[in-house]
């Protein structure tokens, strides 16, 4: 798929290769559901099933292969086609901006979600998504299940980027710190979400899109319970 659409490598792709079946029937995720080519067939089936909305994730490494800077026109074209096809069939698109496929170049350069530098890069990526698709997408999710990104990727080590430390990790813990890194990543996820929402409200609110999430406005009493439920609301 990387070769077809000029996508850049991402952590999700690499972790899929790391934990792929190693038996005689060894497989990988190169083709998978093949929605890139079969989206029209998929949407036709959605319509026949009676669906009125469809949630999909935009691939950061597909849209901006190097993580920042140059935009891949084939990636933009694919999502435009997908969104338009959904709308033509009366199905509302719900777009998720990030679902674990961090461009590998950002992981290699500064540690990805472990660094506060991710906040600016994620915000710039979100800006591209809002600008290119926000005239038709009216529902957005910033980060898909950040709790899973934190626990699986930086504690257990079985999801991207596969970091962990003994005795907590389930994988080969050759790098990582399961005691501290999950909290650093959670903090940066929340800051990245906040930054993207602030950008949206400044530049794109008039488009009618919605980014829904709530934070307590007080630090006393019952609101501390909300702080304890760091990811209890969708991010």
Q: Which long-range contacts (CB under 8 A, 24 or more apart) does 109-113 make?
A: 109/67, 112/11, 112/161, 113/149, 113/153, 113/154, 113/185, 113/188, 113/189
pLDDT of residue 37: 86
The residue among 147, 162, 123 whose CA lies nearest residue 11 is: 162
pLDDT of residue 33: 76
pLDDT of residue 36: 84
**In the chain, which residues have pLDDT < 70?**
1-31, 171, 207-229, 231-235
What structural domains and CATH numbers belong to the chain? Answer: 2-17+33-228 (3.20.20.80)
Q: What is the pLDDT of residues 76-132, one digit of tens each?
A: 999 999 999 999 999 999 999 999 999 999 999 999 999 999 999 999 999 999 999
């Amino acid at each position: 798929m990387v070769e077809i659409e000029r996508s850049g490598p991402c952590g999700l792709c690499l972790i899929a290769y790391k934990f792929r079946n190693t038996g005689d029937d060894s497989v990988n995720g190169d083709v998978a559901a093949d929605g890139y080519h079969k989206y029209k067939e998929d949407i036709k089936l959605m319509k026949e099933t009676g669906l009125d909305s469809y949630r999909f994730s935009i691939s950061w490494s597909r849209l901006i292969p190097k993580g920042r800077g140059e935009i891949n026109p084939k990636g933009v074209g694919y999502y435009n086609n997908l969104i338009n096809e959904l709308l033509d069939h009366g199905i509302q698109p719900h777009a998720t901006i990030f679902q674990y496929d961090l461009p590998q170049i950002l992981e290699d350069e500064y540690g990805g979600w472990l660094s506060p530098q991710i906040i600016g890069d994620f915000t710039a990526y979100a800006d591209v998504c809002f600008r290119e698709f926000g005239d038709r997408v009216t529902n957005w999710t910033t980060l898909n299940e950040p709790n899973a990104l934190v626990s699986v990727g930086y504690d257990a080590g079985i999801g991207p980027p596969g970091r962990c430390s003994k005795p907590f990790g389930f994988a080969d813990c050759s790098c990582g710190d399961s005691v501290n890194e999950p909290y650093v990543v959670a903090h940066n996820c929340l800051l990245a979400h906040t930054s993207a929402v602030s950008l949206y409200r400044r530049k794109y609110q008039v488009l009618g899109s919605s980014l829904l999430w709530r934070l307590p406005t007080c630090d006393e009493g019952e609101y501390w319970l909300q702080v304890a439920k760091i990811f209890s609301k969708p991010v």
